[in-house]
Amino acid sequence: MIHGAGKLRRWPISGAWFLSVLIVINGCSSFVPPSLPSLPSLGPPTEDDEVRISREFRREAKKQFKFVNNPEVERYMDRIGQRILSAMGPQPFDYRFFVVEDSQLNAFAVPGGTIYMYSGLIERAKSTDEIAGVLGHEITHIKGHHMARSSGPDAISVLSLLSMVLLARSGSGAQAAGAVGQAVSATRQIAYSRQLEMEADTLGVRYMAAAGYDPKGSLGFLKTLDQERALNPVDVPPYLMTHPISQERVANMEQVLRSLGKTEVRSEQPDPLKKVQIIIRMERHDGDVVVGEYEKLVRQNPQSAELLQLLGFAQQLKGQLAEAQKNYEKAQQLNPNNAGLQRDLGRLYTQLGNTASAGPAFDRALALEPKEALTYLYLGELFEKQGDLRSAAGAYLNANNFSPLWDKPPYRLGVVYGKLNRLGDAYYYLGRSFLLQDEDQKAIADFERALKLVGENSPRGQLIKEELTTLRARRR
Ligand SMILES: [Zn+2]
């Protein structure tokens, strides 16, 4: 949640921020400097500025990157991120996590709470604990305002490009877009100082351990990176360029692990990373290979509930629904208490049109894991398929409540309310969904439509008026 406590934070390179904006303007011929009186801020970037930087960055990143939009993958990242954040106490930012569809091994953080992880990194990770290690590290860069604290030619120019985002309100649209575009390119390969990297390693592993992830995952990921370097010495992954593995880093990590002692590890079993890796590989059209691999693994180990589930999952994604059902049901007999498996079963039965079996499967999933937004999203799909739109809306509302920064539940709510002819609610939730996608213009248009329909004095009307005030205030 956003609060104002950090606004008085001092920036160590005081005064340099304004200066660095000018350096970039002078140093880069593609910028025409906006006139000085319209500069939005002369002081160091506040946390509000960082929030704005994140928002503009996300808008530009949508044009430059292709994202993995699968709901399983989105929830996977958000679950890990939110779990780490909740172990860290109140935060000044709404953190957002994205998976970029790109086979390179990379991840980076943007000031103001936005983190991008490449699918190539997820594919090479060996456990969710390793992913949590990377997220803990990147969250620390944001929490510690490392970009603002950076010095040196690279860091300064990246920060300057990001500060151009703040000029966007006063400069022309084209200038601003050019600046943000360059900022996106530069930020994905930013290298922080050795000292800031050590800080991110040290605190990142503490945060992820406090969240119940195995801190050895952080060291494990360093080793994964090192193997990658040994395997492919010519084509060095971007993450290794920005995060070189040094003896010092490894020794520091080992020292932190020793100081942490034995921590309480609460891993999800089976590790949900495998499913996410299957989705990423299937989206790249490796379907036959993936199914073949899991068929072989199941032949070698026919009593493994996890392998049966994963084979079924790959088959389901490939459209081999009858085979998937057989393997899921076998897995369920071996391990009936797996929420993820029950959810997969519910979804498969929905696809098969077996709605009588789908409902109880989702009920079992929710009994085991009552607050999972993904289960409610799929339950809503089942209700829609049954023509029970009121129950569908109820399920999507729960999904929205349990994962309030996820754009998919409000979108579905908007569609369902539209079908129910509750147009005020429909436009309100469509507006919410656009807001979460950083589509301010569309959000404003839908909120305005909603406001006309529900009336300014209704409780929802009051809420919409507040949303509109915030949105208009940040419009350039
Ligand atoms: Zn780093």
Q: How far is the CA of 184 from the centre of ligand 1 (A)?
A: 16
User: For 242-254, how does the pLDDT look when each residue is reduced to its tens digit (9 = 90+)?
Assistant: 787 778 888 999 9
Q: Exposed, middle or buried by CB within 10 Å (0-12, 13-18, 19+), for 36?
A: exposed
Please say whether the beta carbons of 406 and 373 come within 8 A: yes
Distance 137 CA to ligand 1 centre (A): 6
Q: What is the pTM of this model?
A: 0.87
pLDDT digits (tens, 9 = 90+) for 406-462: 999 999 999 999 999 999 999 999 999 999 999 999 999 999 999 999 999 999 999
Q: What is the mean pLDDT of residues 35-55?
A: 64
79 C-alpha vs ligand 1 centroid, how far in Å?
Answer: 21
- Compute the distance between CA of residue 126 and CA of residue 260 in angstroms, rounded to an integer: 22
**Residues 291, 315 contacting (CB under 8 angstroms):** yes
Distance 59 CA to ligand 1 centre (A): 23
The mean pLDDT of 192-218, rounded to a whole number, is 94
Q: How far is the CA of 186 from the centre of ligand 1 (A)?
A: 14
SS3 of 282-320: the string is: HHCCCHHHHHHHHHHHHHHCCCCHHHHHHHHHHHHHHCC
Structure-token pair, residue 150: 């950076």
> Separation of 315 CA from ligand 1 center, angstroms?
37
**What integer pLDDT is reported at residue 56 of this predicted model?**
85
CA of 465 to the centre of ligand 1 (A): 40
pLDDT digits (tens, 9 = 90+) for 171-188: 556 666 676 777 777 777
State the average pLDDT over residues 8-33: 33
Select from 156, 249, 258 the least CA-distant residue to 197. Answer: 249
CA of 470 to the centre of ligand 1 (A): 33
Q: Is the pLDDT of residue 55 over 80?
A: yes
CB atoms within 10 A of CB 260: 14
Pairwise pLDDT comparison (6 vs 63), residue with the higher score: 63
- Residue 300 confidence (pLDDT): 98
From the list 266, 211, 210, the residue with the least C-alpha distance to 83 is 211
Q: Ligand 1 centre and the CA of 405: distance in Å? A: 25
Pick the more confident residue, 193 or 308: 308
Which is more confidently placed, 194 or 440?
A: 440
Say if residue 16's pLDDT is above 60.
Answer: no
Rounded distance from Cα 141 to ligand 1 centre (Å): 7
- What is the reported pLDDT for 151? 62
Q: Which of 234, 229, 209, 233 is nearest to 219 (CA)?
A: 209
Q: How far is CA 352 from the centre of its chain?
A: 31
For residue 328, how far is its CA from the centre of ligand 1 (angstroms)?
Answer: 40
Sorted by where each begins, the domain ranges of the chain are 5-260
Burial (0-12, 13-18, 19+ Cβ within 10 Å), 447: buried
Q: How many Cβ atoms from other residues are within 10 Å of residue 35's Cβ?
A: 8
State the Cα–Cα distance between residues 212 and 476, nearest whole angstrom: 42
Report the alpha-carbon distance of residue 251 to residue 248 in Å, rounded.
Answer: 5
> What does DSSP say about strands 96-100 and 107-110: parallel, antiparallel, or unpaired?
unpaired
Position 128 pLDDT exceeds 90: yes
Average per-residue pLDDT for the chain: 86
pLDDT digits (tens, 9 = 90+) for 86-126: 999 999 999 999 999 999 889 999 989 999 999 999 999 99
Retrieve residue 378's tokens.
Answer: 């799929």
